[in-house]
Structure 1
Amino acid sequence: MLSHKHPHLRREREVDHLLLVVAPNHISLSQNMNTIFARCLARIPSGARSLHAGAAKKSVPAPRGDIQDPAAFLNKIGRNSAQFADKFKSWDHLFTVTSAEMKSNMALSVKQRRWVLNWREKYRQGADLYVIPVKPPKKKTK
């Protein structure tokens, strides 16, 4: 370690093969730290930030019961979702379309997208569909 050469350094830490020296009161060392971090970042593969995009695609469940098409699915989950039935081309499209596509290509609002996506995932996990009514707002009393 460097502490015997540089007694003014407060803390040192060795991480893998890289030695990080922390000296909060020295500006010249902060420039060296930027260089060290830049070298570390250069070693990260270029696509590492987007590894989550290549995650395994979720399966499309088979229609079951009286739910055989997107219109029946959307009608069953309620909250006026049936009005978007014509925007989903097929059963596969209902279960593979992304939220971004629903927003840009299908013009669904945030609440509508979240509602459909949440029910889509519940159905994928085996839950039966049912309507959850919206509670009317409480009247204010004085």
Structure 2
Amino acid sequence: MAAVALLSNPRSTGNLSMLPRMRSFCASQSDIFHYEVESVEQIGEALRTIARVNPKVLVVNGGDGTVQAALTELYLGNHFDGSPPPVAVLPNGKTNLIALDLGAVGDPIAALQRVMDIARSGIEEHVVVRELIALSDGSD
């Protein structure tokens, strides 16, 4: 079991310059599984693969669009046996509204290190439940 699975979008604004450091950090950690996607269409396959390592926490490394696509796939994809793991979001996109709402600010690698520390010691007291919302045009 990996403590953390990291789902990265190399094309997000922050990752354009940060990804080499992120890859290096992940390579130095024995209990992190890092999966990179080139497009949102690959997120379903990424989550199927991530489910096999049964992480304690899923960390999304990308912008708001990447987070939205990952949450949609988590909700609709049923890739995990039972409930999916808690999700953390790194501030590594252009606007990072979701990350900011969750309190993730500053250096994404420092934020990932904090998530790793929490995953290793116990996540229960750090999990915050959020309701998902959906938008539609009103048609069935």
TM-score normalised by L of structure 1: 0.29
More strand by share: 2
> Which protein, 1 or 2, shows the higher relative CO under an 8 Å CA cutoff with sep ≥ 6?
2
